[in-house]
A and B are shown apart, each in its own frame.
Chain A
């Protein structure tokens, strides 16, 4: 919780402080002290007061203590999975009406097409559960648990390409450099487990598709201890965590202690808060030497649990194995677990490719939610499934009776959530009959983020961090909590 200390202790300056305060010369310095009467270097009392607000987190009793975000990178086709549009099948091959697309922007990949034939999904849709949610045959396992889910079918975003859209939904801005959701939560709420990071990232191995940059789980301008830590499958779950050959645990401990002494001296001298972060990172790494192998070890999971998650779950690094791991991390009170599963970017050959994609994720997703539920963990864990935007109702490239592709579509997409504080068995929002525009209850990415924060007991307008002269927050200056979601 100790953020930029230098804002509070005005006798210490970091290098950055020094440069910003002196580069404009003494004139600027005196101007600064005229504007801010408290003093020229530190913040005014007023701003300190605002920062102390942060100390009172959570802002209200939270519903969720932890989040598992099953991020489907590449943008899964909502029209083939959740958003049932019989009209598109009726009008299969006909042009999308002009009135529907209007003047909206398309990507460079399909804007040159001289025809935009509507592609109804080739997959069968059915209603499931008591809630009667529509699901396609691609997700037989998830279909069975729809009464535990809350669908938002009217999500929309600003960006039309993967990287900005992913950056947007993960950090609240299209431009890189802001802290990700997990970092904000780590910064705002602190840890619930001293031996593991608050924010863990698991990426499905061996998948191609849109690149994942580590800045998607980066801390941005927050202190670096709040960044996501990637756990990999295989021998070294966290890179460079193990002691080098020949260095015993005792030697390592002594080494770290001496290092800390030196670092404390340095901090007393120049007061850069990043030094404290460094100390805590070293400490955490040391503790993780035992805690990480422990949590990564699934050998005492019973066979029926592997059956539940599917055969992939025995193969480390698959989505299913990561889901199982996510459950184990949740049991250890890790606050934010971010999974990434790539390969949903089906511009062509969609029917064939999406089948494979769905198969890789469907069973394990449903299993995770059920497993959390039977353990009572769904009471305080929020599970989210979704991508960065949606896909077009028209075919990119040639439309064939048995094949089509879909381009990027930021105007609408579907995500679903389950667990803590979220209504069960409901669908929020709707798209028009063509699945192109939103017809009911639009939910912007910032609204979704505000809602997520709300579930964790945070008022998204109050959790801020001052950087480069202004206060930032996850939702920047936007976002409204989607009350309909709250149980």
Chain B
């Protein structure tokens, strides 16, 4: 009963607090601008200081009750609380001195006025920060760059979007900023400690904090998505979570609220992906292997081996490190392949079509680490045996085998190439049935086998 009454008084603090502010300013204005201070002016000023003290005392008292209900961070309250009390005390002292007709020297009077105004500004500012959030003062100034993303990611993290984790890098920083001042191991209001993942999931006095997969039954989500004037709305004071932040939290809980879920998994949800990209300044688009590959360009020494009529290559990137190489003659031999091997790291596309390539030649291609596209079509001497060598090509995504003599068994080998995306099998000995089976097993691989 009493606490509720005190809580009520506490909520009057923001109302009362503006009375002393007005009175102080008026009092000081009279003191400064009324040059000719006869007796009655002097008395008006003295009375001004009394009312400052009296209303200030009420405001401070109500403020104390308000601060005591646990809805504010101690760290923020402290400055506001004690500068407010200092202000009240100062106004009391000034009033008493004037009341007993103590004679102020002019400079002393001025410095008292000045100290009062400074204290007033400090108190007011920190009070404002508690209700409107940090940075409230400058955020609407023109020419000041507005912070779009509320949570900042370091440049280093941003550049490695692939390794970011939803909880650690997106959710945790939000909760840290908005909740943990009141929900940590020392101050766990409502019995809820959010500083550790496990205790947050476990929840506080009212039970489970997060129900995996069920955002609308998770207390943590419910409390932040209430209407702002709901008595249980969290955070009870300060700036609420933004729409995007709540949506991110919802998405995360909905998707199992795992501690270790990579940010890139939002790719299955275009809307939330876009939201997160904008909020955190990320680019979550799927990168192809080549987009992530960094290579040095081949040395002149290496290039020497592929000079001459037989080879033709061009670079595919301005850094001149990705090579697209083709063999231009009608018949290739082991020596040619050894030459090509010299630049194997740099070759990303290789065209050996229609050059009498044989099975044992393919052995020379088995460790081209960055090869993504291989064209060995129209080489009728290639059979299943040769294909074996290709299964070590870790980054091969496109393989053209049309016009070779591979048959159904080759598909078993090809199925082992994890990176494979496209396979051209027209005019081979592979049967339609085998292709159908392969497609069922490897839906991610597109097969073109004629019309």
Query: Which A residues have a C-beta under 8 Å from some C-beta of B?
Result: 56-62, 65, 189-190, 192-194, 308, 333, 370, 373-376, 379, 457
Which B residues from 314 to 339 make CB contacts under 8 A with A? 314-318, 320, 322, 324, 326, 328
Determine the chain A residues whose CB is within 8 A of the CB of B328 once the complex forms.
194
With the chains together, A58 CA to B349 CA distance in Å? Answer: 15
Bound complex: CA A457 to CA B402 (Å): 27
Contact (Cβ within 8 A) B451 A374: yes
Q: In the assembled complex, which residues on chain A have CB atoms less than 8 Å from the CB atom of B373?
A: 379
Contact of A374 with B317 at beta-carbon distance under 8 Å, contacts A61-B290, A333-B326 already known: no
Structural contact, B426 and A57, CB atoms closer than 8 A: no
The reply to whether B422 and A379 contact each other, CB–CB distance below 8 Å, is yes
User: Does B251 make an interface contact (CB < 8 A)?
Assistant: no
Shortest distance from the beta carbon of A5 to any chain B beta carbon, whole Å: 22
* Contact, CB under 8 Å: A375 / B314: no
Query: Contact between B426 and A58 (Cβ–Cβ < 8 Å)?
Result: no
Set of chain A residues within 8 Å of B316, measured between Cβ atoms: 58, 61-62, 457
**CA separation between A457 and B373, bound complex, in Å?**
17
Tell whether, in the assembled complex, residue B318 and residue A375 are in contact, meaning their CB atoms are under 8 Å apart.
Answer: no
Asked if A375 and B317 sit within 8 Å, CB to CB, the answer is no
Q: B295-324: which have CB < 8 Å to A?
A: 312, 314-318, 320, 322, 324
Q: Are B424 and A375 in touch, CB under 8 angstroms?
A: yes
Contacts of B400 in A (CB 8 A): 375-376
In the complex the two chains form, is A379's CB within 8 Å of B398's CB?
yes
Residues of A within 8 A of B451 (CB): 308, 370, 374
Residue pair B312, A376 in contact (C-beta under 8 Å) = no
**Complex Cα spacing A303 to B181, Å:** 80
* Residues A376 and B377 in contact, CB atoms below 8 Å apart: yes
Q: Do residues B314 and A376 form an inter-chain contact, with CB atoms below 8 A?
A: no
Q: State in angstroms the CA–CA spacing of A193 and B317 once bound together.
A: 19
Number of interface residues of B (CB under 8 A): 26
Interface centre among B312, B449, B451 (most CB of A within 10 A): B451
Complex contact A194–B402 (CB within 8 A): no
Tell me, in angstroms, the Cα distance from A373 to B426 when the chains sit together: 10
Query: A374 to B450, Cβ gap below 8 A?
Result: yes
| Residues A373 and B290 in contact, CB atoms below 8 Å apart | no
Question: In the complex the two chains form, what is the Cα distance from A192 to B448 in whole Å?
Answer: 25
Given the complex of chains A and B, what is the CA–CA distance between A373 and B290 in angstroms?
23
**A59 B318 Cβ-Cβ under 8 A:** yes
Does A376 contact B317, Cβ atoms closer than 8 Å?
Answer: no
5 example contacts (A-B, Cβ-Cβ < 8 A) are as follows: A58-B316, A60-B317, A192-B312, A374-B424, A375-B426
Q: Does B391 contact A (CB under 8 A)?
A: no
Counting CB contacts under 8 A, is B222 at the interface? Answer: no
Contacts of B398 in A (CB 8 A): 376, 379
Name the residue of chain B whose CB is nearest to the CB of A379: B398
Residues from chain B with Cβ under 8 Å of A370 in the complex: 451
> Cα distance A193–B196 when bound, in Å?
64
| Other A-B pairs, 13, CB within 8 Å; known A57-B318, A375-B400, A375-B426 | A58-B318, A60-B317, A189-B314, A190-B314, A194-B312, A333-B326, A370-B451, A373-B448, A374-B424, A374-B450, A375-B402, A376-B422, A457-B316
- Which 8 A/B pairs are nearest by Cβ-Cβ distance? A56-B318, A376-B424, A376-B400, A374-B426, A61-B316, A374-B450, A61-B290, A370-B451
Q: Is the interface of A mostly helix, strand, loop or mixed?
A: loop
Do the beta carbons of A192 and B314 come within 8 Å of each other?
Answer: yes
B85 to chain A, nearest CB (A): 61
- Chain B residues within 8 Å of A193, by CB: 312
Query: B residues 392-425 with Cβ under 8 Å of A?
Result: 398, 400, 402, 422, 424
B212 contacts the other chain (CB 8 A): no
B375 CB within 8 Å of chain A: yes
* Complexed CA–CA distance, A57 and B318 (Å): 6
Q: How far is the CA of A79 from the CA of B402 in the complex (A)?
A: 39
Q: How far is the CA of A46 from the CA of B290 in the complex (A)?
A: 32
Q: Looking across the interface, which residue of chain B has its beta carbon closest to that of A195?
A: B328
Cα-based distance from A476 to B407 in the complex (angstroms): 53
Query: What is the minimal beta-carbon distance from B319 to any residue of chain A, in angstroms?
Result: 8
- Give chain A residues whose Cβ lies under 8 Å from the Cβ of B377: 375-376
Q: A376 contacts B448, CB within 8 Å? A: yes
Contacts of A194 in B (CB 8 A): 312, 328
**Interchain CB contact (< 8 A) of B320 among A56, A62, A457:** A56
Cα distance A333–B398 when bound, in Å?
Answer: 18
Can you name the residue of chain A whose Cβ is closest to the Cβ of B318? Answer: A56
In the assembled complex, the Cα of A194 lies from the Cα of B326 at a distance in Å of 12
Cα(A381)–Cα(B400), bound, Å? 15
Restricting to B366-384, which residues have a CB under 8 Å from any CB of A?
373, 375, 377
Q: Within the assembled complex, what's the spacing in Å between the Cα atoms of A194 and B310?
A: 11
Q: Contacts of A65 on B, CB cut-off 8 Å?
A: 324
Q: Chain A residues near B322 (CB, 8 Å)? A: 61
Q: Which residues of B contact A376 (CB under 8 A)?
A: 375, 377, 398, 400, 402, 422, 424, 448
Q: How far is the CB of A287 from chain B (nearest CB, A)?
A: 11
**Who on chain A is nearest to B398 by CB?**
A379
Cβ contacts under 8 Å, A457 to chain B: 316
Q: In the complex, what distance in Å separates the CA atom of A374 from the CA atom of B322?
A: 26
Complex: chain A residue closest to B324, CB-CB: A65
Contact call A58/B424, Cβ cutoff below 8 A: no
The closest CB in chain A to the CB of B353 belongs to A331
Residue from B318, B324, B422 having most chain A Cβ neighbours under 10 A: B318
Q: How far is the CA of A344 from the CA of B63 in the complex (A)?
A: 85
Q: Which residues of B contact A58 (CB under 8 A)?
A: 315-318
A15 CA to B54 CA in the complex, in Å?
97
Chain B residues near A59: list those with CB within 8 A. 318
> Which residues of B, 428-451, contact A by the 8 Å Cβ criterion?
448-451
Nearest-Cβ distance from residue B155 to partner chain A, whole angstroms: 23
Min CB distance B259 to A, Å, is 35
Specify the chain A residue showing the minimal Cβ separation from B288.
Answer: A61
Among the interface residues A61, A189, A373, A379, which one has the most CB atoms of the partner chain B within 10 A? Answer: A61
Q: How far is the CB of A214 from chain B (nearest CB, A)?
A: 28
Complex contacts, A190 vs chain B, CB 8 Å: 314
